[in-house]
Structure 1
Amino acid sequence: MQVALRIEKADPPDRTDLLIAAARAVALLCLDDRAGADGPWAAPMDAWCDARIRKIARRARGAHWQAAQEVWGVTASHGDAQARAFVPGRVGGVDARVRRLQIGGTDVDGELPSAPSGAVGTLVLWINPTLEMTVGKVAAQVGHGSMLGVALMSRDEARAWFDAGCPIDVCAADEDRWAALLEGDRRGSAIAVRDAGFTEIAPGSVTVIAQWAA
């Protein structure tokens, strides 16, 4: 799955807003009716889920961002930030309008909050405090976390969450909270994202932990 992060040179978005937009775009795409059993996106989505799930975040701006809106996918926003998740496909078959977007240059300013908003019905995605990752890498990880986090919800909760636009908080965990979240993953009250290690970090690294604020 390719994810485009809108980062205009003259007016880049806030880091937290951009990561929330990326995570929300992935969740909205995965839960979209078009990705369901009888939808036009069903076959590529099923093939992706049955294989090794990968995500690649790219930088988009100006006319290239506008052109990317024509490719199958879902655009989400948060604050002044926007991101678009595209229906997945083979690495060699990426649409030219997406392929020409840069993979590097995704870093933007901003500090992640250390605590969630506390709003009921929000999926909280906690970032590992011990890893050094670019914004693009983190965007891919929170996108994965938003997918896995749905497993923490009941069917009715997942439907209500989708209907509400998939509200998400992205936060930086401190080491004590991270240890508690890892224990929550072991107990089944939270879900961890473990990276395959293709880029930036070692295979098996836990990058994000999703926690459901029911």
Structure 2
Amino acid sequence: MTSTDALPHGEDPREAAREVPSEDPRDDAPQFVLPLVVRIEKAAPPSRTDALQTAARAVLALLSDERATAEDGEWARAVRDWQDARIRKVVRRARGAEWRKAAALPGLTVAGEHAEVRVFPPVPLDGWPKELVKLQVSGTDLDDPGPPAEADPARPVLWLNPDLAMSAGKAMAQAGHGAQLAWWVLDDAARRAWREDGFALSVRTADPARWAALTTSGLPVVRDAGFTEIAPGSCTVVADHPLLRSCHTSL
């Protein structure tokens, strides 16, 4: 599920994420996409919330990996090119032999409670590896067996817009955007602590009465560029990290 409009690296997401300009210079840059593949076996699909949280953690795992962060890292150029344009993420699904072929490509597999998501270094928009381009985008319809537990307020929470209906794939990409915006705002010590905590986080749908306050709180907000499923400029996720929350008005 394609989802865009996280911000270029170096731009403050607390400010710039508030508006999606009609003419964006990022559109003139070569376009890249971050592929994510979620494992969905027929007999044991993951729950929706588990998949969303695992996708967000997978994005953070790639952003913090030395192959992406070191100046001469093998993924560093691709990540820089990706971050200089629109921050696109596409989620596809795989099972069985498809999953094994995808897992053999360079990338990282992150496990949740039951979910498995593999993230790959960015590729050109029209330059997907053949093992991934064959995978289905549609069909990532996942459910939770019951209401998720209350989010731990001492750890990061990615709040989803309660008024938007998104497929699981779309929501996974949006959760990844929210995690990425939070990552960009944090300092090195906070990033290191988050990584040492296994990028623990929750993804929850916000209470409708609280959503407006979240979007105006100063916390990072993801606005979708509207390529799929929802209208351009829609607020999809607010990234609420304890270290960011302490800097802003209480909600």
Query: Is 1:113 matched with 2:113?
Result: no
In structure 2, the residue matched to 1:192 is 221
Q: How does 1:34-183 map to 2 (within 5 A)?
A: 34-36=67-69, 37-110=71-144, 113=148, 115-118=150-153, 120=154, 122-183=155-216
- In structure 2, the partner of 1:207 is 236
1:56 is displaced (CA, Å) by: 0.7
Determine if contact 1:25/1:83 at 8 Å carries over to the other structure: yes
Structure 2 gap ranges (5+)? 1-33, 244-251
Could you give the per-residue CA deviations for residues 124-166 of structure 1, whole angstroms, max 9, x where no partner exists?
Answer: 1000001111000000100111111113423201111112221
Aligned to 2:59: 26
**Cα distance in 2 between the residues matched to 1:80 and 1:143:** 18
Report which stretch shifted further, 10-19 or 151-160. 151-160
Provide the rounded CA distance (Å) in 2 between the counterparts of 1:79 and 1:212: 21
Give per-residue Cα distances to partners, 1:47-93, cap 9 Å, x unaligned: 00001211111111111111111222211111011111111111211
Q: TM-score, normalised by structure 2?
A: 0.79
Q: Which runs of 5+ in 1 are unaligned?
A: none
CA distance in 1, matches of 2:225, 2:113: 31
Take 1:159 and 1:56, find their aligned partners in 2: how far apart are those partners? 27
How far apart are 1:24 and its partner, in Å?
A: 0.5
Does the CA-based 8 Å contact 1:124-1:212 persist in structure 2? yes
Moved more, 11-20 or 109-118: 109-118
The residue correspondences of 1:6-25 to structure 2 (distance < 5 A) are: 6-25=39-58
Shift of 1:168: 1.2
- Amino acid of the residue matched to residue 77 of structure 1? A
Deviation at 1:201, TM superposition (A): 0.4
Give me the whole-angstrom Cα distance separating, in 2, the residues matched to 1:206 and 1:161: 25
Q: Name the structure where strand makes up a greater proportion of residues.
A: 1
Q: CA deviation at 1:114?
A: 7.0
Deviations 1:81-111 (A, max 9, x none): 1111111111211011111110000011115
Q: Percent identity?
A: 47
Question: Does the CA-based 8 Å contact 1:191-1:211 persist in structure 2?
Answer: yes
For 1:2, the aligned partner's letter is P
